């Protein structure tokens, strides 16, 4: 009986989200989105920089196949940022490096592969990353250049930014990915968490000083449920797998990052009582998706297996990524949660956006209601 009630609730919220996106309600109070982060939010910046390494295939099919064209998004289609924009009745937010784009409804500065920490800090700690990675500080420089080019005065900028929503992340995941993929221990990588969180907070303080009044800061995903981590770090016979089949140790690490981030956000709220700062619980929303996969239309036998990959238990091989010669794509990406073993499918991102907007996975919930009040 409880399961039936839960399923009915999920179906109702799906209907309500569609109504939210399609309705002819009054215009929203938010008239622009400024997005920063990594591949979870990049809508085409890395594609225009020249993708390499993990991301070398994002400019061609099968990437973008559900959207019917490759856009530089690391998925078969749309991302969380796209659904957040649609729910605000805004057009999809264009990438900053598309110099022919219309930026009247905001700008997306996120770049796939980006880190919270600067390259210098990571290299000092012997963490190697692909060339050309744009850290959060560089995205902030882009943002300032954009403001200089579009705002006649500081007062004009403050007015413009006061009606905008800032999406700061998800960011920090790659700082950890690069370290873990180079075989760093969980305890060793934990030492970077305070610096990653500080970088996110320093960035947020700066955009507040520039005029931001509505900010969303997402936490990290449960990385132990990612096919990439499961493929690389699963040990036969280990007790590290939980009831979902995810790696407990790596999920505990992600939870540790999120707890530190939430404490820092609480402190930032206390110092900026007039600013709306929302924590987006990507960790909880993703696990909620896994736990309700059947009613959401996902194949329960493929929850931890990539749609696009090159075989193996999790259909993931770091040496033969999605889009590479020898990889293949599943028949129906909408049946899968994971797209390429690192990123999610359009359908999974849509389900997560639903959870953030309507199922309490973004807090404080009253702030979320105020932002999406149209």
39 has catalytic annotation: yes
**Active-site option among 76, 82, 281, 340:** 340
343 has catalytic annotation: yes
Beta strand 214-218 with 276-280: parallel, antiparallel or unpaired? parallel
Structure-token match 């370290």, residue found? 179
Neighbours of 185 (CB within 10 A): 9
310 has catalytic annotation: no
Whether the CA torsion 191, 192, 195, 196 is positive or negative: it is: negative
CA 226: distance to chain centroid?
14
Cis peptide before 62 (omega within 30 of 0): yes
Neighbours of 155 (CB within 10 A): 10
**Active-site option among 35, 38, 39, 276:** 39
CA 346: distance to chain centroid?
12
Q: How many angstroms separate the CA atoms of 273 and 285, rounded?
A: 27
**Active-site option among 257, 288, 292, 343:** 343
Which among 185, 180, 191 is positioned nearest to 223, based on CA atoms? 180
**273's tokens:** 């009582």
Whether the CA torsion 315, 321, 325, 329 is positive or negative: it is: positive
Known catalytic residues are 39, 340, 343
């Amino acid at each position: 009986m409880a399961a039936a009630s839960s399923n009915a609730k999920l179906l109702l919220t799906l209907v309500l989200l569609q109504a939210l996106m399609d309705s002819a309600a009054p215009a929203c109070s938010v008239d622009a989105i400024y997005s920063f982060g990594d591949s979870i939010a990049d809508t085409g910046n890395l594609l225009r920089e020249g993708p390499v390494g993990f991301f070398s295939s994002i400019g061609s099919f099968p990437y973008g196949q559900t959207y019917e064209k490759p856009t530089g998004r690391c998925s078969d289609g749309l991302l969380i940022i796209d659904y957040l924009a649609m729910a605000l009745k805004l057009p999809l937010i264009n990438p900053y490096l598309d110099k022919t784009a219309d930026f009247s409804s905001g700008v997306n500065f996120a770049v796939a592969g980006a880190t919270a920490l600067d390259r210098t800090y990571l290299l000092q700690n012997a963490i190697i990353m692909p060339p050309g990675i744009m850290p959060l500080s560089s995205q902030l420089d882009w943002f300032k250049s954009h403001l200089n080019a579009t705002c006649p005065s500081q007062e004009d900028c403050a007015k413009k930014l006061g009606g905008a929503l800032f999406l700061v992340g998800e960011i920090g995941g790659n700082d950890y990915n690069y370290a873990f993929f180079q075989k760093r221990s969980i305890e060793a990588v934990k030492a970077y968490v305070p610096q990653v969180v500080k970088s996110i907070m320093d960035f947020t303080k700066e955009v507040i000083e520039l005029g931001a009044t509505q900010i969303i800061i997402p936490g990290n995903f449960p990385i132990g449920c990612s096919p990439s981590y499961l493929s690389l770090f699963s040990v036969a016979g280990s007790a590290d797998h939980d009831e979902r089949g995810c790696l407990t140790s790596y999920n505990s690490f992600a939870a540790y990052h999120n707890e530190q981030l939430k404490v820092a956000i609480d402190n930032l709220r206390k110092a900026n009582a007039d600013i709306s700062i929302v924590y987006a619980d990507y960790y909880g929303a993703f696990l909620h998706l896994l736990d309700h996969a059947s009613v959401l239309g996902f194949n329960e036998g493929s929850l931890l297996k990539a749609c696009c990959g090159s075989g193996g238990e999790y259909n993931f091989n770091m040496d033969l990524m999605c889009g590479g010669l020898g990889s293949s794509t599943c028949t129906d990406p909408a049946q899968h949660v994971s797209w390429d073993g690192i990123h999610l499918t359009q359908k999974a991102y849509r389900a997560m956006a639903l959870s953030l907007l309507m199922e309490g996975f973004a807090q404080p919930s009253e702030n979320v209601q105020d932002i999406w009040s149209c």
